[in-house]
Amino acid sequence: MQALHVALGTAVFSKQQRARNVLTNPRSKRTIVASSTAQEQNAQSTSTSRMPTRREALSVSTASLLAAVVAPALIHVPAAAAAGGGSVSTVFVAGATGQTGRRVVEQLRRKGINVRAGVRDVKKAQSLGLAVPGGSSTGSVTLVEFDVTAPLDNIVAAIGNADAVVCATGFTPTASNWGGLKPNSSIAVDKQGTINLIDASKSSGVGHFVLVSSLLTNGADCKQTDNANYKVLQAFGGVLASKREAEVYLQKSGLDFTVVRPGGLSNEPATGGIVAQGADTLFGTDGEVGREISRDLVAEVAIEALFQASADNKIVEIVGTPGAGAPKSSWFDVPIAPVSGCATTPV
Structural domain contains residue 338: no
- Residues 140 and 265 reside in one and the same domain: yes
Structural domain contains residue 344: no
Structural domain contains residue 346: no
pLDDT tens for the chain, 347 residues: list them: 444 444 444 345 543 333 333 333 333 444 334 333 333 333 333 333 444 443 344 343 333 332 333 333 322 223 223 223 357 999 999 999 999 999 999 999 999 999 999 999 999 899 888 899 999 899 999 999 999 999 999 999 999 999 999 999 999 888 888 888 888 999 999 999 999 999 999 999 999 999 999 999 999 999 999 999 999 999 999 999 999 999 999 999 999 999 999 999 999 999 999 999 999 999 998 888 889 999 999 999 999 999 999 999 999 999 999 988 999 999 999 999 999 999 997 65
User: Which residue, of 81, 114, 147, is where some domain finishes?
Assistant: 81
- Residues 62 and 125 reside in one and the same domain: no
Note whether 13 and 264 are within 8 A (CB).
yes
- Residues 180 and 55 reside in one and the same domain: no
6: CATH: 3.40.50.720
- How many domains does the chain fold into? 2
Task: Supply the pLDDT for residue 54.
Answer: 39
230 is in which domain, residue-wise? 2-28+88-330
- Residues 189 and 325 reside in one and the same domain: yes
- Residues 98 and 143 reside in one and the same domain: yes
- Residues 60 and 16 reside in one and the same domain: no
Structural domain contains residue 347: no
- Residues 200 and 221 reside in one and the same domain: yes
C-alpha triplet 221, 227, 228: angle, nearest 5°: 140
- Residues 297 and 170 reside in one and the same domain: yes
- Residues 66 and 160 reside in one and the same domain: no
In this structure, the number of other CB atoms found within 10 A of the CB of residue 168 comes to 29
Task: Supply the pLDDT for residue 179.
Answer: 82
- Residues 203 and 152 reside in one and the same domain: yes
- Residues 223 and 202 reside in one and the same domain: yes
Structural domain contains residue 337: no
Structural domain contains residue 145: yes
Note whether 269 and 20 are within 8 A (CB).
yes
- Residues 42 and 96 reside in one and the same domain: no
b/e map of 270-303 (b: 16 or more CB within 10 Å)? bbbbbbbbbbbbbbbeeebebbbbbbbbbbbbbb
